[in-house]
Structure 1
Amino acid sequence: MGLGNRLWRGHLAPHAIIAGGIFITLVMISLCATVLYDARLDAMDRARDTSRNLALIAQRDIERNFELCALSLQAVVDGMRDPAVLALPPRLRRQVLFDRAATAKYLGSMLVLDASGNIVVDSAGDVPRQGNFSDRKYFIVQRDSPNAGLYISDPFSSRLRNGSPSIALSRRLSHPDGSFAGIVLIAMNLEYFHTLFAGLSLGPHGAVSLIGRNGIMIMRQPYDVRTIGRDIGKAATFRRFRTAAEGSFSETASIDGVRRLYYFRNFPDLPLIIMVAEAEQDIYAGWRRRATTIGSLMIAFALAFVALAFLLGAQLRRRMRAESELELLARTDGLTGLNNRRTLGEILDQEWRRARRTHSMFSLLFVDIDRFKAYNDTYGHQAGDDALAAVARCIGNNIRRPADSAARYGGEEFVVVLPDTPPAGAALIAEQIRAAISELAIEHAGSEYGRVTASIGAASWAPEQDSDVTAVIKATDEALYNAKATGRNKVSPFWQDKKG
């Protein structure tokens, strides 16, 4: 019999070692794939952060220049209302009205037009150039809308500067009675935006655009004169730009068919949208090189490991057995730091038997995060893990007595064991835990409360000598179900006295 047992083991061992080697190899390949996948996500996150930073840089530069233009326009409006300024000789009046704004880089014409659209004051010289601009939209809007304020036009070809592509910022001039007296305008060369965007590094297939909220393209890098002034209001990407103040998403561009990660920001005080988009092929270029290298090395290592499994089978089997035993001995949940389910079973059994001996009240809480699956689906598993850890800290912070304990029961459910605790005390602790979780104010778009909340079932029991702990577990679970069924984010108590 002993010889047969040894033969059986000798026959089985090679197969077990080979199977173990293959299994471990698959695990290593899976871990490698997980790491590479996480690296891919990290590459996307880094690209999103880079796009956001570039958009902020461009936005602040544009806002600063537009603010200077707006102040210059207002200064001219105020000057045109001052009889003393109007009475000055043309040269002095021009210097007073336009100061140094007319010499700023990328600024074109700075003009005052009368009510008919004719140039009456010109920053370019003491004698105004000839021209009528009553057909321009920036004139028509100011003429027809007394409260238009600062108006930013769509791109146009300048008539005074040989068709140079420009946009105009304009303000209305009014007579004392409020009637239309003309406009003040500054023409800004689109070369300013071209130069600004050209300095942003987005890879060979990246793009950055400035778009009016009406969907008109003001500037796009890479530059193509055919895209300037193009209406993209019906494009899927533009519709996404109007859904929020800022955000990011992946989409295929309607202009060139390249799939990009888009980051967009709506200017808070200007009718403009800045969009920075990095092509996915550029985002993942470095990752693909690393993935190819690491993947090739991992495959080679996996094949070598399977070959060595014949020699290392015994040692590997002992190591796996030791690791398995260590895992069985583990008593805490790795994510939350609370007791795990196995330890919970021991605590429940111990405290229940003690409560029976001492005839004391035994309380139990079931804490369940509301709509946690929806939270995971919306924000991702990493955010879900962070939420679980935060909830666990709330629970731990609200049970102070040494005899009280908490455990992660599974998934998003936690159990709190409260020995020698009457119903009122259990309800108080449960409410403290519920409030603390709600006060975390973790955003949860899928919840009716807009934040992460928890429902809590509470049960208090005076165990009899022949009773079983499953009764209080069942009662607590029913209380939790009631809390869920009656609105969530609440404590539902259940208790039983010795007569019940």
Structure 2
Amino acid sequence: MIAIVMVGLCAVVLYQSRQDALDHTRDTLRDIALIAQRDIERNLELYALSLQAVVDGMNDPEVLALPPRLRHEVLFDRAASAQYLGSILVLDAAGNIVIDAGSDTPRLGNFADRQYFIVQRDNPHVGLYISDPYQSRLRGGSPSIALTRRLSHPDGSFAGIVLLAVNLEYFHNLFAGLSLGLQGSMSLISTDGAMIMRQPYDPHVIGRNIRKASTFQRFMSAPEGSFSETASIDGTRRLYWFQNFPHAPLIIMVAAGEQDIYAAWRRRALTIGSLMLTFGSAFIVLSMLLGVQLRRRMRAESELQLLARTDGLTGLNNRRSLGEILDQEWRRAKRTKSMMSLLFVDIDRFKAYNDTYGHQAGDDALAAVARCIAGNIRRPADTAARYGGEEFVVVLPDTPADGASEIAEKIRNAICDCGIEHAGSEYGRVTASIGVVSTQPQTDDDLTTAIRAADEALYKAKATGRNRVAQ
């Protein structure tokens, strides 16, 4: 049980450590997402301001009346030279380039087929629109997204758009500079499901729509949150943290692979678990060995205690334990005012038997007599003991004189019926004489008086011919 408790506590600690690793990773993902979101929001805000400045300039007749070089400087104010900006263009209602921030002479191109142009043309109130990724026609297929605003005539009719292209390299470099682990992932996704950027970078993933993926459904279910899910793109199970941009139709998602999250925990759990199982197993083995040794010692002590109270030859109580039993029963008889009987059993002419048949035969005869005595006392309270030599004492609590005499006769007959040959006996076999005394001890009575009376009854049985019971 102690080993189970130890292993259980270890399991609880390891489980809590696993949860701590998960919580720590979730906090880290939230911090990384916040860093990326704030950087993107700040740049988008600057790009939106530049875009609005062009819109305002295009609505100002005085600006439009300026020579092309001055108009260019007023409208773009060096914005076109900013890092990661691709092109800043003004398109007319037909989608043709009419003003180009990269040149005083606009490059040739028509973008009426682009989604960002169609959205602005068909939706007068769309405001700032962030497009899905596309391959730039003016910059050799460079992957980009477009920030656009609508231009309108005074009557509200469509006059064209202002376009600001942002190279996806900006997002790529931003994500690459953030530590995500071996199986980590980071994505910028539009709210319509288009993948704008993903780390690890794969050009085939950029622009893919994941609107039907279960992960995307989670992204749209709350402003921010965390969950574990298997990615539809690469089949890796990750812990996700996502956050919707408050002022842009974008979602930032940061994820850590579960193998990365629990890598250190698994190593620690393996070490601690192995040590705990080893110590627990060793503890159980040592406990079992100690238990075996304790049981052996208890058994040995029990045997020693039994030997200390038992006669080794006959198996009956010895004289030492007899004294304790006599004293205990004598005091109980005084207390309860009950009868107590004693039997003194002595094997007749035992010295002659030893001289004739030898001490080994004498020991066998003693053991046989002891069996006869033990076999004829039935109650748990009755006790038989070897008093010394060939003498035995039987203690019979709560037994009157007639009952004691009946038991004594049974013992005498049992010994006689054993038929142990004894050439030196007048009966030709081993016999015993038994003295019986029954008394109800009073307060002032002494136990030695009862013992002396039983001994005298024994001598009376000897004197009257042996192999008999006398009171």
TM-score normalised to structure 2 length? 0.61
**What is the CA–CA distance in structure 1 between the aligned matches of 2:49 and 2:290, rounded to whole Å?**
79
Report the alpha carbon displacement of residue 93 of structure 1 after superposing the two structures with TM.
1.0
- 1:279 aligns with 257
Matched, 1:30 2:11: no
Cα displacement string for residues 244-296 of structure 1 (whole angstroms, at most 9, x for unaligned residues): 11111111011100000011111111111111110001100000000111111
Aligned equivalents of 1:298, 1:95: Cα separation in 2: 74
How many positions carry a matched residue from both structures? Answer: 291
Instruction: Give the equivalent residue in structure 2 for 1:96.
Output: 74
Question: CA separation in 2, counterparts of 1:310 and 1:112?
Answer: 89
Q: Which residue of 2 aligns with 1:121?
A: 99
Q: 2:185 aligns with which of 199, 207, 216?
A: 207
In 1, the alpha carbon distance for the partners of 2:17 and 2:50 equals 49
**Which one of the candidate residues 187, 195, 198 is aligned to 2:176?**
198
Find the counterpart in structure 2 of residue 303 from structure 1.
Answer: 281
Q: Deviation of residue 309 (structure 1)? A: 3.5
> Matched residue of 1:300: which SS?
helix
Q: 1:71-82 maps to which residues of 2 (within 5 A)?
A: 71-82=49-60
Q: What is the correspondence of 1:167-316 to structure 2 with a 5 Å cutoff?
A: 167-309=145-287
Distance apart, 1:306 and its partner CA: 2.8
TM-aligned CA deviation for residue 178 of structure 1 = 1.1
Q: Tell me the residue number matched to 1:166.
A: 144
Q: CA deviation at 1:310?
A: 6.4
SS for the counterpart of 2:204 is helix
Cα deviation for residue 308 of structure 1 reads 4.3
Q: Identity of aligned pairs, percent?
A: 73
* Within-5 A mapping of 1:381-400: none
- Mapped partners of 2:183, 2:190: distance in 1: 23
Query: Partner of 1:53 in structure 2?
Result: 31
2: distance between equivalents of 1:136 and 1:32? 61
2:208 and 2:16 map into 1 onto residues whose CA distance is 39
3-state SS of paired residue (2:271): helix
What RMSD, in angstroms, separates the aligned Cα atoms of the two structures? Answer: 1.3
The answer to whether structure 1 residue 145 and structure 2 residue 116 are counterparts is: no
CA displacement, residues 90-109 of structure 1 (integer Å, 9 cap, x when unaligned): 11111111112211111100
The one-letter amino acid of 1:45's match is D
SS in 2 for 1:227: coil
Looking at structure 1, the residues matched to 118 and 235 of structure 2 have their Cα atoms a distance apart, in angstroms, of 37
Cα deviation, residue 304, structure 1: 3.0
Deviation at 1:311, TM superposition (A): 8.8
1:35-54, Cα deviation, whole Å (9 max, x unpaired) = 00111111111111111111
Moved over 2 A (4+): 303-313
1:298 Cα shift?
1.0
**Residue identity opposite 2:251 in structure 1:** I
One-letter code of the match for 2:88?
Answer: M
Partner deviation per Cα, 1:446-496 (whole Å, 9 max, x = no partner): xxxxxxxxxxxxxxxxxxxxxxxxxxxxxxxxxxxxxxxxxxxxxxxxxxx
Residue of structure 1 equivalent to 2:18: 40
Residue number among 103, 110, 121 corresponding to 1:132 in the alignment: 110
1:412-491 → structure 2 map (5 Å cutoff): none
SS in 1 for 2:174: helix
Establish whether residue 66 from structure 1 lines up as the match of residue 44 from structure 2. yes
Distance 1:207 1:80 in 2: 42
Structure 1 counterpart of 2:184, one-letter code:
G
Cα displacement string for residues 66-86 of structure 1 (whole angstroms, at most 9, x for unaligned residues): 111110111001111112211
Q: Which amino acid aligns with 1:204?
A: L
Structure 1 CA distance for aligned equivalents of residues 176 and 288 of structure 2: 60
Distance, in Å, in 1 between the alignment partners of 2:137 and 2:256 is 36
